[in-house]
Structure 1
Amino acid sequence: MENSTLDQEKAYWTREVAELLDIKEGTVRKYARLMEENGYNFHRNEHDQRGFFERDILLMKRIKALSKTKGVTLEDAVNTVTKGVMVAERDSITPAVMNLQEELERSIERHKQTMEAFIQLKNENTEMKELLMNLSEQMKQQQTYIENSLEKRDQVLLESIQKTLEQRREEENTGWFKKLFKSK
């Protein structure tokens, strides 16, 4: 790193970086230690304290995001980020530009995935609404059929009972008349 460029940039301390990244100070130190183990160099003051620049914070932000990915360990995330920086420096690509481009690509990919998921949910929601409407209509038809069937059954039953009662009355009346005429 060039000292002239770093002298013009604002340095952040561990506490400030922790607040910016919404992580604990111990986590910032752990990230820094792992990054240093992978060959990354931080600016240090005369008391050997690390000073973090925007570039360092962006890298730590990437490490934090990568480490939350399922199946990616913190060490894997640090290794990936620091190797990316080393390759970028070797190829004279500005890490900040590389970081922005990668973040933009990831953001676009996440947006695409979110939109695809939203469209799928919307389609499923539409299908569910149609299914519910069909089921509701079928239930109404079944209810109407059941009510009509019960009404017809009740009507037939009532008519049958009435016929039976009339037949009994006729038999009783006919039986009385027969008895009356037989006895004479």
Structure 2
Amino acid sequence: MRHDIQPNERSYTTKEVADELGIATPTVRKYGQVLERNGYEFFKDGDRRIFVRSDIESLIAIRDTDKPLDVTATYLVNQQKLRLEGFNETEITISDTTDNSPQDLNQLKESLMFLANELAATREMNVQLTNDMSQLKTTVSQLQQDHHVISSGIGNSAQKTARIEKLTEQQNSHYESLLQQEKEKSEFLQKEIQNMRDEQKKEWRLQSDFNKRLEKSMTKPKGTLDRFLSIFRK
């Protein structure tokens, strides 16, 4: 488990890292996933990554590399392992030359980790609260402007309010009238279309009957003129 955080070392949220590197927060998460896939260790608060300066330097190397990301990530993982091994050696030397027990040092590191996580979470919450407050101020300002416009337009006069209600009622009545007219037009057009269809069907039936009589008369053994005239005698 990673334990190389220094006393008073600053931690960074994903958004802060994205702002410093000039990239989007999803890109920071992508680079973090590439590093973790190759064995890199981040400090974690649950599933959320907490970055320190060495992590930011690794992300910069990923961002600026012209090699495949996994190749660069493998190199950075090896560098982190060497750094952590050096940190462990330094920790052992300090433990041997002081009166602090390993248990006390572990408790100190756990306390520092807890404080770093809490600080990062508080900083991120403060940023969110600041953004929410700014958005709330903008909304309040817009509502005040809208209220001023409405107050200037209709005032506090009951007469103006009644006039507006009357105009609204007239508009609604006019709209209902137009809607009824359009409905009647639609029904009339539907009837006309149906009548046209009925007339067309009637024409088709007459034409079909005529064609049948013509065909039948042509098959009878009569003279050509008699067969043709017999069609119109019927």
Q: TM-score, normalised by structure 1?
A: 0.42
Higher relative contact order (CA 8 A, sep 6+): 2
